[in-house]
Amino acid sequence: MKVLHVVSEYGPKGRGVPQKVVRTVDAWQRFGIEADFINFASAQIGNTGLGLEDSFKPRFRGEWIVEMHRRSKKVLEVLKQAKPDLVYTREMVWSPGFSSILNEFQVVIEVNSDRGNELRSNSLAAAAFWNMTSKSIHRRAAGLICVTNELAEKFGLANIPTTVIANAVEVPTVLPKRLLSSNRPLVLMLVGSPSSWIGLDRFSALSELLPEFDFVICGDLRAYAGKISETVRVMPPCNGKVLEELLSKTCVSFGTLALSRNGMIEACPLKSRTSLAAGIPLIYAYKDPALEGDEPFALRIEDRQQQTPSTLVKIKNFIKKASVDPDLSLKAWKFAQNNLDIDILEKRRIRFFNSIIES
């Protein structure tokens, strides 16, 4: 089987989407698939340029559609030469050129969010265009892979093969080292691409209400940087040994806290799963397709009731317990090994690919 993964979102290594794409293709290759990347901006096969930011900055929305069409035509010519059995891509905005790719090849599309809702906060026109054209793209796909059940129920089509495969992470084979302090436990929020539904403001508010804990945000906050309380320490994005050291000192990690702002209730954030893979207990405010909601190593709180006295008590008690109970770390890591590891989930994706090709 020959599969080409179209990469349309770029950024430094370690940032969510590029990191996920690289690890996904690496896993496919380990399982014997003839797999590679195709850079949507340059139409080059291979990982050249995946770690760079996209240099094209549209002056207006219509210019982006024209650019997408131009890129699609270049990619189509490369695909015709490469002749993959399957093309894999995250959702992209419609253009005549992208429509031609759907006509020529079997394309499996990954649905990872309600993009129409995401766009609405920036541009009503962009959201309306997306909602008008995305269903047409889905109808012409060879298959859809949704990262949550909620997205599958909302965007799945009766005559298009659809499955749910959540975001995966690389889980270490041994429990990472833990250097916890019960005097002033460190609670962390990892941020890839900042947005309103991550709930940075709610994390910041909790830091003021729970001053006995060391609240830390690690990531590129961009426009949100000036809105963070002085009670929160802010660290720039990091990876490798620096990230490992930070995670080793983290008592509890916070996941997304305001998903309802995107009109959704279910998610599987990479940053939250990275924390669980490192053996870090999790506090989150959404439904996760892999979590039941009553695991001892994870505390699910209500989206809009995070600052009520009863919720604050639950959060405080959970952090204190995590700071003195190493068994929670062990359980979090073992859960990640059995449910979130990339090898487990990518084997499911490959089985879905096989079913598409065979049909």
User: Taking the model in full, what pTM does it have?
Assistant: 0.89
Whether 176 is in a domain gets the answer no
Q: Which residues lie closer than 8 Å to 232 by C-beta, 6 or more apart?
A: 203, 204, 207, 215, 216, 217
64 plus 123 within the same structural domain:
yes
Type and span of the H or E element at 262: none
Host domain of residue 298: 186-339
Q: Name the band, by pLDDT with cuts 50, 70 and 90, for residue 109.
A: very high
- The CATH number given to whatever domain includes residue 283 is 3.40.50.2000
pLDDT tens digits, 9-30: 765 544 556 678 888 999 999 9
152 plus 37 within the same structural domain:
yes
157 plus 9 within the same structural domain:
yes
111 plus 248 within the same structural domain:
no
Whether 178 is in a domain gets the answer no
349 plus 323 within the same structural domain:
no
190 plus 260 within the same structural domain:
yes
Q: What are phi and psi of 43, to 5 degrees?
A: 65, 25
pLDDT tens digits, 286-343: 999 999 999 999 999 998 777 889 999 999 999 999 999 999 999 999 999 999 999 9
Whether 64 is in a domain gets the answer yes
Whether 179 is in a domain gets the answer no
Whether 118 is in a domain gets the answer yes
247 plus 293 within the same structural domain:
yes
State how far the Cα of 267 lies from the Cα of 288, in Å rounded to an integer: 5
Give how far Cα 131 sits from Cα of 14, 109, 126, 260, 336, Å. 31, 16, 9, 19, 35
Q: 90 forms bridges with which residues in the sheet?
A: 110
- Give the residue from 308, 299, 295 showing the smallest Cα distance to 334: 295
Q: Name the band, by pLDDT with cuts 50, 70 and 90, for residue 49.
A: low
The tokens for 223 are: 């426009």
